[in-house]
């Protein structure tokens, strides 16, 4: 089974266009550090068009975190902005890119959402 991290990036790459990033352009690199090893994921965003690669290239913003935390984020079990405030995730460069990309993480798997008391057809 593929991990949530890989699935998150591969899905993003497959979609090609992400409406939530339609106003965003720039490069954003995720560095997932574990011991001496670092895994890189690079997002090249051009007004919503997203390309994902594993390059270790200079980027407008670089996010650093552990593979463990990223896995939780990609699965919706942890929250990106809270992780940033906590210092469990760090940012170098243009924070706006990170705040925009954070919105791509899914919600909590157990989230109930608004509960409609009387059902009607959803339009």
| 39 Rama class: left (phi>0) / alpha (psi -120 to 50) / beta | beta
CA distance 33 to 117: 46
Does 38 sit near another protein (CB under 8 A)?
no
User: Of the two residues 14 and 123, which places its CB atom closer to another protein in the complex?
Assistant: 123
Does 19 sit near another protein (CB under 8 A)?
yes
User: Of the two residues 71 and 78, which places its CB atom closer to another protein in the complex?
Assistant: 78
Angle between helices 67-74 and 4-15 (to 10 degrees): 60
Does 77 sit near another protein (CB under 8 A)?
no
Does 118 sit near another protein (CB under 8 A)?
yes
- Between the CA of residue 67 and those of 17, 40, 119, what are the distances in Å? 25, 10, 41
CA distance 86 to 32: 17
Least distance to another protein, CB of residue 120, Å: 4
Does 34 sit near another protein (CB under 8 A)?
no
What lies within 8 Å, CB to CB, of 73 at 6+ separation is 65, 79, 80, 83, 89, 105
Tell me, residue by residue from 45 to 64, as one string, x for binding to another protein by CB under 8 A and - for no binding: -------------------x
Footprint on this chain of another protein (rule: CB under 8 A):
19-20, 22-23, 64, 76, 79, 81-82, 84-88, 90-92, 94-96, 98-100, 103-108, 110-120, 122-123
């Amino acid at each position: 089974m593929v991990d949530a991290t890989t699935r998150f990036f591969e899905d993003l790459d497959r979609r090609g266009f992400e409406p939530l990033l339609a106003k965003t352009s720039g490069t954003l690199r995720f560095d997932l550090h574990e011991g001496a090893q670092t895994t890189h994921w690079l997002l090249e965003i051009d007004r919503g068009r997203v390309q994902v690669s594993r390059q270790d290239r200079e980027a407008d913003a670089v996010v650093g975190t552990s593979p463990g935390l990223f896995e939780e984020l990609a699965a919706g079990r942890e929250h990106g902005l809270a992780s940033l405030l906590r210092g469990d995730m760090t940012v170098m460069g243009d924070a706006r890119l990170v705040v925009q990309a954070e919105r791509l993480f899914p919600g909590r798997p157990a989230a109930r959402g608004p509960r409609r008391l009387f059902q009607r057809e959803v339009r």
